[in-house]
Structure 1
Amino acid sequence: MAALGNAAPIIIKRKKVISGGHHGGAWKVAYADFVTAMMAFFLLMWLISATTEEQRHGIADFFNPSIPLSRTSGGGDGVMGGDDARSERTMANAGRGATSLSPARDRQAVGQTGTDETATEELTQEQLESLEDALLAKSGESMMAEQLLRHVVTRISDEGLIIELFDLDNAPLFQGESAEPTAVTEALSAMLVEVFALVRNRVAVTGHTRSYPIVMRSNPAWDLSTERAQAMRRLLAGAGLDEARMQRVTGAADRHPVLRNTMASRNNRLEVVLLRR
């Protein structure tokens, strides 16, 4: 008992451990930036899907610093007069528009009137659909027009309004294996020119042919498709289409068949495109 009385007192320290301590708030800033970026991304996706191409051009022009938001000029003729945002010397060159300082063949100054008679506007989706309807509506005008439109298939692409003219078994577009157009092709070209007169956009023509047997000494597809495209160009010009509107004339031979049977006569066709721009 005496030994226990002389022993040093035992001191027990209880250390309080706190879990989940403070680690700083930097992650909150990073998370907020991430959420903001995702919100901007989904807003951009919504704008792309919910607007027309014309509206998207307007949004892009709003954020373009080279396009003034006000039509009031800030420049003057005095000593302190400067150039405004639309000045030819200060405006960013996006490859469009006219210039009087360095005119080119495809960029002629518009003069005092501010208009260019040779310029064409970009066709909207609604305008292309209206032109397509105007062409297809001709089937109700007469029996002849209805027979002609049996050769026609239309579709709208990023390039413009594509009008496909193709052979029928009993009514080919060209005589035999030549580039001599039939009366059907001549009537179709006149119908196209009547519709194309509603706008001033340029036109492109591409010729296609069916495949020929590989045992032939020479494949006529390339020459024949090109010659038929040229024949359509001449028919369009003869029907009243301004030759300056013709953008290109090409032959694609048998490289793009529409049927699995590449030798079918349905692959003999012409694609006349009313270009969107």
Structure 2
Amino acid sequence: MAAQGNAAPVIIKRKKVIAGGGHHGGAWKVAYADFVTAMMAFFMLMWLLNATTEKQRKGIADYFNPTIPVNRISGGGDGSFGGDSVLSEQTLAQNGTGASASVPTEEMQARGESGEKDSVAEAETLVEVEKALTARTGESMTMERLMRHVVTRVTDEGLVIELFDVEDQALFLPDSAMPDHVLTEIAGVLVEVLDLASNQVAVNGHVRSYPLPLIENPTWNLSAERAQVMRGLLEKAGLDAARVQRVTGFADRKTVTANPQAIRNNRIEVILLRKNR
């Protein structure tokens, strides 16, 4: 009995065996799959940005961000006014884009559901007027002589028709607002093409800088007088006086050449304005 009492205790160890991927298990596979998925999405995004147009990208973005319009008006409600308020633009409720302020500017006024179509139509009108004017070049030697004074460009303001001096022919007598006969003939041509649209018209006068500093700068009065003379020639040729929105003289402040004294800076701008200007 004593021998058994001094015997060492018997310790039985049972080892737990875990079948699978060893000490780290299979978690790395999940992480790797997430990484591969993220990289695939990243490269797909890069490909879409490079292979699609801005309009297509907007369509894709709208697909993943769907909206359900309640009503095709400026407000989102569906009450008695359909989302509009009687206070919109301090008048009766108006539908369309832009009626978002109680006192909106001209640019921010409601355009109605056809506002975008109107803008496209107006842009097409400006281009048609420009084409009608440039088509005059080559009709005859006389027209060729007149059109060398004319360049056109379409801007955010409208269709700018620029009339300028050339080396051997000025539009006005030197240092005066007395028009040369060539400007009178050009005015008649302009009125014919301006009548293709009903937009308002602006006239800007520009002159070149004088070579020496003067006590009184004559460019302000000269540019304004020439602009007024051009307005008079247009109206005399048949332009409706009500269409003239403004007449401005810019002196020698906006030159178009590196040399401010160049005769190319003597010019008149007749602008067929966009309707929101």
The two structures have a TM-score, normalised by structure 1, of 0.64
Q: Does 1:65 align with 2:72?
A: yes
Q: Relative to structure 1, is the Cα distance of residues 94 and 129 closer, same or farther in structure 2, using a 3 angstrom cutoff?
A: closer
Does the Cα contact within 8 Å between 2:129 and 2:197 map onto a contact in 1?
no
Check the 8 A contact 1:85/1:91 in 2, yes or no. no
Distance verdict in 2 for CA 1:63–1:264, change over 3 Å: farther
State how far apart, in whole Å, the 2-side matches of 1:127 and 1:157 are.
Answer: 13
Q: 1:233 to 1:4 in 2, by over 3 A?
A: farther
Give the counterpart of 1:8 among 6, 11, 23.
Answer: 11
Q: Which residue of 1 aligns with 2:156?
A: 158
Spell out the pairing of 1:102-141 with structure 2 (5 A cutoff).
123-141=121-139
Rg larger in structure: 2
Out of 235, 240, 260, the position equivalent to 2:258 is 260
1:229 matched residue in structure 2: 227
Aligned 1:21-60 pairs, distance under 5 A: 45-46=54-55
Q: Amino acid of the residue matched to residue 236 of structure 2?
A: G
Indicate how the Cα distance of structure 1 residues 209 and 90 shifts in structure 2: closer, same or farther if over 3 A, else same: closer
SS at match of 2:160: strand
- Residue 196 of structure 2 corresponds to 198
2:264 alignment partner AA:
R
CA, structure 1 residues 89+48, in 2 after alignment: closer, same or farther (shift >3 Å)?
A: farther
Are the structure 2 counterparts of residues 48 and 197 from structure 1 closer, same or farther at C-alpha, using a change threshold of 3 Å? farther
2:125–2:197 Cα contact (<8 Å) kept: no
Q: Distance in 2 between matches of 1:45 and 1:64?
A: 26
Check if 1:20 corresponds to 2:27: yes
Amino acid aligned to 1:226: A
Distance 1:264 1:89 in 2: 54
C-alpha contact (below 8 Å) 2:73/2:82 kept by paired residues: no
The alpha-carbon distance between structure 1 residues 156 and 140, as it changes in their structure 2 partners (threshold 3 A), is same
Equivalence for 2:146 = 148
- Structure 1 position 216, deviation (Å): 1.6
- The alignment partner of 2:137 has SS state of helix
- Could you tell me how far apart the structure 2 residues matched to 1:222 and 1:126 are? 35
* Structure 2 contact 154–160 (Cα < 8 Å) conserved: yes
CA drift at 1:207: 0.9
User: The residue matched to 1:140 in structure 2 has which SS?
Assistant: coil
Structure 1 residue 130: deviation in Å? 2.1
**CA displacement at 1:197 relative to structure 2:** 1.1
1:270 Cα deviation from its structure 2 partner? 0.7
TM-fit CA distance, 1:94? 6.5
Q: Which residue does 2:168 correspond to in 1?
A: 170
Task: Tell me, in whole angstroms, the C-alpha distance in 2 between the residues paired with 1:63 and 1:254.
Answer: 55
Q: Identity over the aligned pairs, expressed in percent?
A: 43
Given that 1:124 and 1:276 are in contact with CA atoms closer than 8 Å, whether structure 2 keeps it comes out as yes
Displacement of 1:182 in angstroms is: 0.9
Distance 1:270 1:5 in 2: 118
1:224 shift after superposition: 1.2
Q: Name the CA distance, whole Å, in 1 between partners of 2:57 and 2:165.
A: 40
Q: Deviations over 1:171-194 (max 9, x none)?
A: 101111011111111111111001
SS in 1 for 2:173: coil
Structure 1 pair 241–4 and aligned structure 2 pair: CA distance change class (3 A): farther
Unaligned 5+ residue runs, structure 1?
50-61, 68-81, 97-120
Whole-Å separation in 1 of the counterparts to 2:249 and 2:93:
44
**Contact kept? 1:156, 1:162, Cα under 8 Å:** yes
- How large is the Cα RMSD of the aligned pairs? 4.1
Q: Is the 8 A contact 2:73 2:97 kept in 1?
A: no
Paired positions, count: 217
Deviation string for 1:129-159 (max 9, x for gaps)? 2211211222233221110001001111222
Give how far 1:19 is off. 4.5
